[in-house]
């Protein structure tokens, strides 16, 4: 693949502290991992060059065929760098970030901690990537420091 440059349109403002270095896995890649069923560890990510990381940011992963290509490319990359393949994740047939109607309870609960109630209209107006970010950032096991910045960035909190 041809090396890619940083395109800020691929990232959220709350990710700006690591975008230039890409030392963390950005949400756009995390959504693709969940879409193609690969459990990529941060230690794997750190094995990749900047160009390889940007390839993973920019490579499409929306259709079934694209997800398969993404998974193959990623698994080959992990295997080449580490000698073994990354783990696999089950891929739900209807991922919650693609559901523009039903707001996950954990998202509403986390938003409630900031006195925010997300309406169904607001939820449906978000992009799948924005919904994915809120879902990931609202998980109890996740470091949630970016949940409030995400609410603000997505115009859900004043």
Domain boundary among 33, 58, 88: 88
Give the chain's domain count: 2
Q: What pLDDT does residue 84 have?
A: 95
Q: How far is CA 93 from CA 34, 99, 134, in A?
A: 11, 11, 20
Q: In this predicted model, which residue has the larger pLDDT, 126 or 19? A: 126
For residue range 68-94, list pLDDT tens digits in order. Answer: 999 999 999 999 999 999 999 999 889
Would the pLDDT of 28 be above 70?
yes
How deeply is 106 buried, as exposed, middle or buried, from its count of CB atoms within 10 A (0-12, 13-18, 19+)?
A: middle
Flag whether 1 is in a domain. Answer: no
Q: In this predicted model, which residue has the larger pLDDT, 142 or 51? A: 51
Q: Would you say 105 and 118 are in contact if contact means Cβ atoms under 8 Å apart?
A: no
**Do 69 and 114 reside in the same domain of the chain?**
no
Question: Considering the entire predicted model, what is its pTM?
Answer: 0.90
**Do 12 and 84 reside in the same domain of the chain?**
yes
């Amino acid at each position: 693949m041809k090396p890619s440059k940083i395109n800020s349109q691929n990232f959220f403002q709350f990710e700006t502290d690591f975008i230039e270095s890409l030392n963390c896995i950005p949400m756009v890649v995390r959504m693709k991992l969940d879409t193609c069923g690969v459990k990529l560890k941060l230690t794997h990510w750190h094995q990749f060059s900047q160009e390889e990381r940007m390839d993973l940011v920019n490579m499409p992963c929306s259709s079934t065929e694209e997800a398969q290509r993404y998974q193959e490319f990623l698994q080959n990359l992990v295997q080449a760098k580490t000698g073994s393949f990354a783990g696999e994740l089950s891929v739900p047939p209807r991922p919650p970030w693609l559901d523009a109607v039903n707001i996950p309870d954990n998202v509403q609960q986390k938003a409630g901690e900031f006195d925010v109630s997300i309406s169904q209209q607001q939820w449906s107006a978000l992009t799948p990537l924005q919904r994915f970010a809120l879902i990931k950032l609202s998980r109890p096991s996740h470091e949630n420091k970016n949940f409030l910045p995400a609410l603000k960035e997505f115009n859900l909190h004043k």
